[in-house]
Amino acid sequence: MPAALDLANVTQKLALVVAPLVIAGAHALACGDAPAGELAPGQAAPVVGSSGAPGTPGSPGTPGGSPAGSSGGGTDGGLDAHGDGPGTPPVPVLAAPVAMLAAEVAARSPGTNAAIAVLDLKTGEYAAASDTERHVSASSPKAIWVAAALDHSGIAAVTPYAQPIFRDSDNDAAGSAIDLAGGADAVNVFYGGKAGMVDSALTQWFGNRAATNSPRKLGDDNYFTAKDAVTFLSRLDAGTLIGAAETAQLETWMTWSPRSGFGGWLGTMLPADVRTSMMHKGGWLPPGCCGDDATYNTLNEIGIVEVAPGHRYAVAVLARRGTDWYGKQVPWVERASCVIYRAASGTPAASLSCND
């Protein structure tokens, strides 16, 4: 692998890349087998290239978006990006690095199935790989459950649970957030309605919390897609998800999650000042946690990263089933975050190493 990648040159040459990448989606509570029809570890699935942003009316090729492989920045009420107004669309900068990450994962982290979605919240550019495949969501949607709780019960009621949820990823506190959202069924209504998450669900949680309206597309597991996660993040950033005060509070709480290392993988390889303002929630089901490493071995990161004042991007990197979770899958997720930041910010590879 070359020491540095000339993304501008690759962007000009890559119109469409097809690479192996599989996905699946949500949090494992009862760690059952993946449903029939889901791709097995190592089995190839086509990459969804740079496409229309989540929420864009559907076209052939990409569910809910532009045709696979197209480069798109159009948005609608489903996903909110804040562009600079009418004019020539910016040159795409995200498609090439996302395609590269999708192509390399099999070699860098054997067995890993991965999904990526990234939306530049200023330009509207969206790029993705396997972004509509469902993944066990682990603890990443705790941020979404808190949003639902804020919407239903307000800041004062949710505040006691914020620190344990974001600092420690506490499962009991997350259960209280579900209760403050109106219960598991209400969380799913929030998913499909205000959050725009059309293929995600909370199925069950600790404390005998169970939803009656989950489609159970991953059996007993909770699940989401990379595209749905970025749709949620884009609405949060746009201020259309919940009230203004609630939005500001949730964004502050999301900076309480670890800045690097365990639980903070999104920021591990980012510049120090970028890590400080990063808003995210990691999720993990490491080897030995759930009785079936071939199905789980999950590591998710969803978040909003600022590259300059007024310029942010929303990102979801979902990975699972890697045969070496600590030694290879974790470093690949950290590298993926770094490569995406480098592209979105225009930082030269010579100035920021992403373990190239």
Q: What is the pLDDT of residues 304-313, one digit of tens each?
A: 999 999 999 9
pLDDT tens readout for residues 53-73: 554 433 222 333 333 333 343
Look at phi and psi of residue 87 and say left if phi exceeds 0, alpha if psi is from -120 to 50, else beta. Answer: left
Residue 178: count other Cβ atoms within 10 Å of its Cβ: 23
Residue 225: count other Cβ atoms within 10 Å of its Cβ: 30
**Residues found in the chain:** 356
68-91 core/surface letters (b: 16 or more CB in 10 A; e: else) = bbbbbbbbeebbbbbbeeeeeeee
Compute the 3-state secondary structure of the chain and give helix, strand, coil in percent, each to the nearest 5.
35, 15, 50
pLDDT of the residue at 59? 29
Longest CA–CA separation in the chain, Å? 53
How open is the CA angle 191-97-9, to the nearest 5 degrees?
145
Q: What values do phi and psi take at 201, rounded to 5?
A: -160, 145
pLDDT tens readout for residues 86-141: 456 678 999 999 999 999 999 999 999 999 999 999 999 999 999 999 999 999 99
Handedness of CA 218, 223, 224, 226 (dihedral sign): negative
pLDDT of the residue at 292? 87
pLDDT tens readout for residues 152-191: 999 999 999 999 999 999 999 999 999 999 999 999 999 9
Q: Which residue type occupies 81?
A: A
- Mean pLDDT score, 70-83: 44
What single DSSP character describes residue 341? H
What domains lie within the chain, and their CATH numbers?
Answer: 7-345 (3.40.710.10)
pLDDT of the residue at 44? 33
What single DSSP character describes residue 279? E
Q: Which two tokens stand for residue 62?
A: 């990409």
pTM higher than 0.75:
yes
